[in-house]
Amino acid sequence: MSISRRKFLGLIGSAGVGTAVSNSVFAASNKHFTGYPESFAVLHDSVRCVGCRQCEEACNKVNDLPEPDQPFSDASVLDKKRRTTAKAYTVVNRHDRAKDGIAPVFNKTQCNHCLEPACASACFVKAFKKTKTGAVTYDASVCVGCRYCMMACPFDIPAYEYDNALSPKVVKCTMCQPRILEGKLPGCVESCPREALVFGKRDDLIKIARNRIARYPKNYVDHIYGEHEMGGTSWMYLSGVAFQKIGMREDLGIKPAPELTSGALSVVPMVAALWPVLLTGVYAITKRKEKIENEEKNQAVNSAIKATKAVAELKIGEALAKAEKEQEEIVEKAVKSAVDNAVKANTEEAA
Amino acid sequence: MDEIAIIAPEKRLFTPFNIVSGIIVLMGLIITVIRFTKGLGAVTNLSDYNPWGIWIGFDLLVGVALAAGGYVTSAAVYIFGLKRFHFAVRPAVLTGFLGYLFVVIALTYDVGRPWRLPYPFIMQSGTTSLLFEVAACVSLYLTVLFLEFSPAALEWLGLKKARKLAVNLTIVLTIFGVILSTLHQSSLGALFLIAPSKLHPLWYSPYLPVFFFISSIVAGLSMVIFESSLSSRFFIDKMDSAHIAGKDQLILGFGKAASVVLAGYFAIKVIGVSAGDNWHLLATPYGIWFLVELLGFVALPCLLYAIGVRDRNLKLIKWTSLLAVLGIILNRFNVSLVAFNWHLPSNERYFPHWMEIGISLFIVTLGILVFRFIVTRMPIFYEHPDYPEEH
């Protein structure tokens, strides 16, 4: 495979700048993202839900999922707490409220289609996308199967095909995106006999929900779950009891997931830019220190040599002078004795 | 005949080490077949609630941290000019290289479609993902480590020109290596930033990236000490005089550095608790476990290193390095497994399947076997006679 120069530059650019200007997830932005305008959503009113599980059955049919172990009409399934799996995009759980003196409450679980999804922010191949219709879609054709989306999802929704050896997928509710594009309702919404599920524009649904709470304040907790949780979701809930009591976390906060990591990501270009400067500086200082040390050493050695040489020369000079003097003396002596001898010989001859 | 005996002294095939590692390799191969024919579900206890097990917690998080000796040692020697530890660079770079190589090999078991691992770079890049940063830095750093290691292999192969080229790159590679290590060591911690609702507040902190980076320095220093004491036990016959003469100085020097960095790490961990105002959680069972980690595996090794250096007690420093290494393993396990999903009821929590442990053991064994293969053949613990003193 060859990569053109343009594509290569694009890759480099996407690695660095991409973190700051990505538009699929609104990380590291000072804008408050409130969702795509006119996007769709679903409101689940657990006060109306009777746990008939027709939504589960419809979901199964619409998405061509394998038959469940127990038929959908078997109510004993509700005795156990269940979660979404690779074979069930949505599950209804029964929460017994006998302690509160009320009938059991049923709650439906599926992907909440966050406005700024943790899965999309976490995915390193952009397999998840928040679409303008409101659905968070998944593209299995690029998925590597790292399962970081499952780690990231605060609602524990994505499931995985652990039994598939070579082409496992991450699996979650699609909000019936293909049906929405056709102008149809999501399977579960269409099948609900109690209108516990309402599909519509998110803004409208919030108004409907507020309206219900206002009209029946005794029946509802004054909170629309999903309006602000994790920055807001496209699947929202009404409840007659505290949401925590029907298996929903109330400690998630309202910060969208991408904001949790944007700080760490924004440090990347800083490290990449400043570390080389700092390290090269340290290296240069170390080198210079070594150089100066070497120079000083050389200098010291040189001057030591010079000093020794000078002393040696002096000594040699002295020795030479002394030797010369001695030599002269010897010569003088020899000459003197020769002269003396000659004089002696002369006088002897003369005598 | 005699000459051959001198060059290759009798090599026994059935040593206890070879038998044990042979069994592990065989077991690893069998599990490999099961993994790639029956899927992750057949060999792991992973679930929809617990998508990451020890193949991420140990093979990736611990593996990368313990392979930090490469960048720590080469930075100390080439950038900070601690030339007297030059002999330690090659063993450290080799272990770093093998560490990362086997991290990547281990990942092919864990991800669903391993041949797609290059997808983030060739298909589409999820640049908002910390995992993208990890993937980019790890793959680049693996390349850097390969190049840093290559002079030893090229000397072995006798390719002088290529070796010269590789040696000339040393300082650039070292700086590049430190940048990449800073980024991915820290982003391994940052991976967990996205899940504040799942990780226990004592371990969750906006400082997670800093914790991971600083502790990787401790891991690098401690692993160099630990390996050096193991190597001088098993490969002393391969070492040249510079290596043997310098290794005690190395242990003292690195022990001193590790003590200082551990003290800093202890301080920022305490700041982390304080910044999150989580003091009240220390009295809970998770809090006690947190204190075990902080006091037993951070404060204690910090103190023991300091005492060891003061008394020039090499034995104490060596044992402390083991304690510090265990501390890193404990920390990575706590973040990724023990304190993760702490809110779930116990029947929904994760405990590794024996086959998962088997694969981790298999990968570590392969790493040790390759290490042994290389150090018995290439100039790692000694200088190649053709290239004296020219690094």
B204 CB neighbours in chain A (<8 A) are none
Question: Residue A30 — pLDDT band, cuts 50, 70, 90?
Answer: low
* Mean confidence (pLDDT) of chain B: 91
Question: Residue A24 — pLDDT band, cuts 50, 70, 90?
Answer: very low
Q: How far apart are CA B295 and CA B267, in angstroms?
A: 12
Phi/psi of residue B204, each to 5°?
-75, 130
Note the pLDDT of residue B184: 94
Q: Which 185-214 residues of chain B touch chain A by CB within 8 A?
A: 186-187, 190-198, 206, 209
Please give the average per-residue pLDDT across B163-188, as a whole number. Answer: 92
Across the interface, of A165, A275, A286, the residue whose CB is closest to B36 is A165
Q: CB distance from B275 to chain A under 8 Å?
A: no
Is A192 a residue whose pLDDT tops 90?
A: yes
Higher pLDDT, A121 or A20: A121
Supply A101's token pair: 């003196």
Note the pLDDT of residue B15: 86
Note the pLDDT of residue B191: 95
Q: How far apart are CA A247 and CA B108, in angstroms?
A: 36
Full DSSP string of A221-245: -S--BTSSGGG-BSEEEE-SS-GGG
Complex ipTM > 0.85? yes
Q: How far apart are CA B341 and CA A95, in angstroms?
A: 22
Model confidence over A200-228: pLDDT tens digits? 999 999 999 999 999 999 999 999 999 99
Supply B260's token pair: 């200082």
Q: CB distance from A118 to chain B under 8 Å?
A: yes
Q: How far apart are CA A203 and CA A139, in angstroms?
A: 28
Question: Residue B384 — pLDDT band, cuts 50, 70, 90?
Answer: confident
Question: How close does chain A come to B318, measured CA to CA in Å?
Answer: 29
Q: How far apart are CA B148 and CA B96, in angstroms?
A: 10
Half-sphere exposure of A293 (CA within 13 A, CB side): 7
Largest CA distance in chain B: 75
Is A28 a residue whose pLDDT tops 50?
A: no
Q: How far apart are CA B315 and CA B319, in angstroms?
A: 6
Is A5 a residue whose pLDDT tops 70?
A: no
Q: CB distance from A275 to chain B under 8 Å?
A: yes
Model confidence over B132-152: pLDDT tens digits? 999 999 999 999 999 999 999
CB contact under 8 A, A27 and B41: no
CB contact under 8 A, A163 and B111: no
Q: How far apart are CA A265 and CA B130, in angstroms?
A: 7
pTM attached to this predicted model: 0.86
CB proximity list for A86: less than 8 A, separation 6 or greater: A159, A160, A161, A162, A169, A171, B48
Note the pLDDT of residue A74: 86
Is B202 a residue whose pLDDT tops 80?
A: yes
Please give the average per-residue pLDDT across B41-65, as a whole number. Answer: 95
Phi/psi of residue B128, each to 5°?
-85, -5
Note the pLDDT of residue B275: 92
CA-nearest residue of chain B to A81?
Answer: B348
Half-sphere exposure of B129 (CA within 13 A, CB side): 29
Residue for token digits 């069998």?
A: B30
Question: How close does chain B come to A58, measured CA to CA in Å?
Answer: 23
One-letter amino acid identity for B29?
A: L
Model confidence over B282-325: pLDDT tens digits? 999 999 999 999 999 999 999 999 999 999 999 999 999 999 99
Would you say A125 and B126 are in contact if contact means Cβ atoms under 8 Å apart? yes
